Amino acid sequence: MSDDPNAFQTALALILGRDPDLIGIVTLSLQVSLSAVLIAALIALPLGAALALWRFPGRGALIVMLNALMGLPPVVAGLAVYLLLSRAGPLGEFGLLFTPGAMVIAQVILVLPIIAALTRQQVEELHGDYREQLASLGVSRARRIPTLLWDARFGLTTVMLAGFGRASAEVGAVMIVGGNIDGVTRVMTTAIVLETSKGNLPLALGLGMVLLALVALVNAAAHLVGETAQRRLG
Amino acid sequence: MKTTGLTLAAIGLTGFTLGVSARDQAPFITLASTTSTEASGLFDAIIPPFTETTGIEVRVVAVGTGQAFEIARRGDADSLLVHDTVGEERFVEGGYGSERADVMVNDFVLIGPGGDPAGISEAESVAEAMQLIAEAEAPFASRGDDSGTHRAELRLWQAAGVEPEGEWYRELGSGMGPTLNTAAGMDAYVMADRATWVAFENPQDLELLFEGDEALFNPYGSVLIDPERHPHLKHDLAAQWHAWLLSDEGQAAIADFEVKGQQLFFPNARPD
């Protein structure tokens, strides 16, 4: 591919040039996707753990549904959020459409099933090992949730990173609910789509490399924190 | 506690994120417009002088004309700038729009592989050019997305007396840029607006083969949304944008916009 060195140079120039537009786009991408992952985690971690601990009718169906929702097409999530937030929709009066807030909401919907489903699986395995011990100590199920989540924290970091990967990579949802407005809702993925449509392929690919580097950086940071914590705990 | 820290972090971040929109104190309007105006760079040239004059920011949501109408119909945009005169008039007659005015024109051009297998560069009219493509059954990439360009293309086929169907006619369902990218990849003929074509950076073997017929005229109109149907919209600010587009200053800004030394949009507002 003759575009390769060109795109690579473009990516380097983008990073070294510290273009203020690019910095704005990168910052917004991180803000939106990290917020979405944190909000989704707050709901999904306890939800996944609860699903691992309690047995109730319809539990199997709920787990299957959660697993299936991991494959929810971003464009469908975007369309649903668009219809909700549109002025003609039920939540229209908040005026959230075409704002970063709308993009966070759409990404929460995409990330939540991933974190909940994978947490359920991890906690269930862990609980299998600890069940008797916890039962003999007379720890109630509700009290077991924070203990188990804390014990599974290293595995759950990877789960959250999977959620972050999904959020930062998707374009279908943020394009519809954000509108790709210059300086307001333009993020890395929608900027890549725009440059591709202009036929500016080296710049589009260059932006793609910057996005990849960014995701790698977030992953490296999480890895480092995990390593340090693990070493300190021995 | 870990959970508390997480909660605080999430709340902080969300506030920060949501604050991005609230932090901007400047008044703004949301404009639903077409990909051709955005991709060509026109808005980067004409919005800054408008903002400087009025202090109003314009947030552009660039989509196909069909989607732009739908966004406006639902009350999600304060104003429209599109290129489908028939659709714009229907929008106003249907009670969704309160006012429509001509702003500018550019034109459509026929693009195709450099070898021109259907020989359209010799055609006398656009109707003949389209008949030649159909007769040669040369691959033709159609937008197929209910955009202003797609609607114009369908009207041209009709005027040429050709039923566009068969394996050679490929409906892509994409914006102008992606359609050009695909056409370049499969050496297909394609109808494009001149602005997107001139600004397009990935032509490969594609060349401009036919231009200049009056039937290829592509007028843009500005439409204001009906205040009674959607009272929450920023009608005052939108009216200022509408008036500025039609003013001498706005019209001059449109005429001054050039890509690669070419003027792409020709102002044609009619003074009252």
Task: Indicate the pLDDT class of residue A234, thresholds 50, 70 and 90.
Answer: low
Residue A98 has its nearest CB partner, among B18, B24, B30, at B30
| Tokens read off for B241 | 């944008």
Task: Decide if pLDDT at B19 tops 60.
Answer: no
Q: How far is A202 from chain B, CA to nearest CA, in Å?
A: 10
For residue B12, the domain's CATH number is 3.40.190.10
Task: Indicate the pLDDT class of residue B13, thresholds 50, 70 and 90.
Answer: low
* Number of CB atoms found within 10 A of residue A185's CB: 26
CB-CB contact of A145 with A52 (8 Å)? no
Task: Indicate the pLDDT class of residue B219, thresholds 50, 70 and 90.
Answer: very high
CB contact under 8 A, B21 and A184: yes
Task: Decide if pLDDT at A3 tops 50.
Answer: no
Q: What is the number of CB-based contacts under 8 A between chain A and chain B?
A: 106
Q: Is residue B263 part of a domain?
A: yes
Q: Is residue B272 part of a domain?
A: no
Identify whether residues B87 and B119 lie together within a single domain. Answer: no
Identify whether residues B211 and B112 lie together within a single domain. Answer: yes
Q: Is residue B191 part of a domain?
A: yes
Number of domains, chain B: 2
CB contact under 8 A, A199 and B38: no
Specify the pTM. 0.85
Identify whether residues B99 and B162 lie together within a single domain. Answer: no
Return d(Cα A163, Cα A44) in angstroms, integer: 11
Return d(Cα B182, Cα B143) in angstroms, integer: 10
Identify whether residues B172 and B222 lie together within a single domain. Answer: no
Domain of residue B118 covers 107-216
CA angle, corner A88, sides to A82 and A90, nearest 5?
75
| Residues A69-111: tens digit of each pLDDT | 999 999 999 999 999 999 989 999 899 999 999 999 999 999 9
Residue B16 has its nearest CB partner, among A31, A93, A179, at A31
Whole-Å CA distances, A109 to A104, A174, A234: 9, 12, 37
Domains within chain A, CATH numbers bracketed: 21-233 (1.10.3720.10)
Identify whether residues B61 and B145 lie together within a single domain. Answer: no
Identify whether residues B222 and B99 lie together within a single domain. Answer: yes
Return d(Cα B39, Cα B19) in angstroms, integer: 28
Task: Decide if pLDDT at B265 tops 80.
Answer: yes
Return d(Cα A186, Cα B206) in angstroms, integer: 30
Residues of chain A contacting B232 with CB distance shorter than 8 Å: 87, 93, 95
Identify whether residues B211 and B113 lie together within a single domain. Answer: yes
Task: Decide if pLDDT at A67 tops 90.
Answer: yes
Chain A residue at shortest CA distance from B60: A181
| Residues B114-173: tens digit of each pLDDT | 999 999 999 999 999 999 999 999 999 999 988 889 999 999 999 999 999 999 999 999
Give the largest CA-CA distance in chain B.
Answer: 78
Q: Is residue B65 part of a domain?
A: yes
Q: How far is A99 from chain B, CA to nearest CA, in Å?
A: 6
Identify whether residues B100 and B14 lie together within a single domain. Answer: yes
Identify whether residues B116 and B41 lie together within a single domain. Answer: no
Task: Decide if pLDDT at B9 tops 80.
Answer: no
Q: Is residue B201 part of a domain?
A: yes
Identify whether residues B128 and B32 lie together within a single domain. Answer: no
Burial of B212 (0-12, 13-18, 19+ CB in 10 A): exposed
Identify whether residues B13 and B64 lie together within a single domain. Answer: yes
Return d(Cα B138, Cα A122) in angstroms, integer: 57
Predicted pLDDT at B12: 53
Q: How far is B70 from chain A, CA to nearest CA, in Å?
A: 11
Do β-strands B97-113 and B217-225 pair in parallel, antiparallel, or remain unpaired?
antiparallel
CB contact under 8 A, A197 and B39: yes
List the one residue out of B31, B16, B22, B32 whose CA is nearest residue A28: B16
Give residue A219's region: left, alpha or beta (phi > 0; psi -120 to 50).
Answer: alpha
Q: Quote the DSSP letter at residue B216.
A: G
3-state secondary structure of B98: strand
Where is A12: in which H helix or E strand?
Answer: helix A3-17
3-state secondary structure of B35: helix
Residue A199 has its nearest CB partner, among B3, B20, B180, at B180
Predicted pLDDT at A9: 80
Identify whether residues B154 and B168 lie together within a single domain. Answer: yes
Q: How far is B183 from chain A, CA to nearest CA, in Å?
A: 12
